[in-house]
Amino acid sequence: MTIASSKQTETLDQTPRRFKWDVIIFMVVVHAAACLAFFPSNFSWAAVGLAVFLHWVTGGLGITLGYHRLVTHRSFQTPKWLEYFLIFCGALTCQGGVIDWVGLHRIHHLHSDKPQDPHDSNQGFWWSHVGCWFYHLPADLDVPRFTKDIADDPVYKFLDKYFFPLQVLLGLGIYFLGEAYQPGLGWSFVVWGVFVRLVAVFHCTWFVNSATHKFGYRTYESDDKSTNCWWVALVTYGEGWHNNHHAFQYSARHGMQWWEIDMTWMTIQFLQLLGLATKVKLVEK
């Protein structure tokens, strides 16, 4: 082994033990700010409604439909303008850059529940749910190898780099929207539409990494611990049918049984009717 390769191996071994302090501080601040929702002065039904709507736009359309089924697995195709709109919505979740998100998820599928998996569930619920994101991971260095199809796209590069400033702009827009709706509601709209919504989308997404590798049932044999968990499917627009997904990663439909409700699959069907979703991949029966 050369000195260079020895140093590289040492770096990889030490990477998981190094904290990502920027991520930790950001998460602490956002979760603390979300607690402001418990103050009666920050509550309004209009703000709650805004948070629910933005949860669907950013978490449902952005993460589940855009980042995951469209970009990561290429389960279907859309016009480029719609693809860019969906990843823009996903960028508003502040789950890191889209290129990193896609790369790490592709690595997860390649090494699911093995040591190379960024959120290996064998390391415990806390690790797979949130703990893994607080550390520099060896998988971070592999992302470029798994994202060659999007790494040079200028729109992807912009959203990958500037997702945080976009969140600030969204917050300002939400504040003025609240003030226009009713003077004095601007801050309530920010608390619910930004902080509460971000925390909700964070944990809904993380439950796919943690809960659906621990709770639920298995329909298919897969080389991991993936499960189908109804309550995760409910809050993630169909992503909780995770064992189905790991068995057929390319499928645009995750809820395989009629009672496995998959709202994202319904959205894809709607886009098909409009001619905006083509080359939809499904499991052959």
User: How does pLDDT run across 161-170, given as a tens digit for each residue?
Assistant: 999 999 999 9
Are 228 and 239 within 8 A, CB to CB? no
Range list of H helices, 130-262: 143-146, 154-181, 186-190, 197-209, 230-235, 242-247
pLDDT band at 6 (very low <50, low <70, confident <90, very high): very low
- What six digits make up the tokens of 131? 């703990």
Choose among 96, 98, 92, 102: nearest CA to 155. Answer: 98
- Cα(129)–Cα(12) distance, integer angstroms: 22
How many angstroms separate the CA atoms of 167 and 83, rounded? 19
Q: Please state the domain extents for the chain.
A: 12-273
Top pLDDT among 23 and 284 is at 23
- pTM, whole model, 2 decimals? 0.91
Q: Does the structure show a pLDDT above 70 at 2?
A: no
Greater model confidence, 19 or 2: 19
* Adjacent-strand bridge partners of 135: 19
What pLDDT is attached to residue 285?
Answer: 63
The CA-to-CA distance between both ends of the chain, in Å, stands at 50
In 10 A of CB 157, how many CB atoms? Answer: 15
Q: Compute the distance between CA of residue 217 and CA of residue 228 in angstroms, rounded to an integer.
A: 5
pLDDT by residue (tens digit) across 177-202? 999 999 999 999 999 999 999 999 99
Instruction: Give which of 260, 191, 257, 189 is closest to 231, Cα–Cα.
Output: 260
Work out the average pLDDT over 87-114.
96
- Tell me, what DSSP letter sits at residue 66? I
In terms of C-beta density within 10 A (0-12 exposed, 13-18 middle, 19 or more buried), how is residue 249 classed? Answer: middle
How many CB atoms within 10 Å of residue 189? 26
87 within 8 A of 156, measured Cβ to Cβ: yes
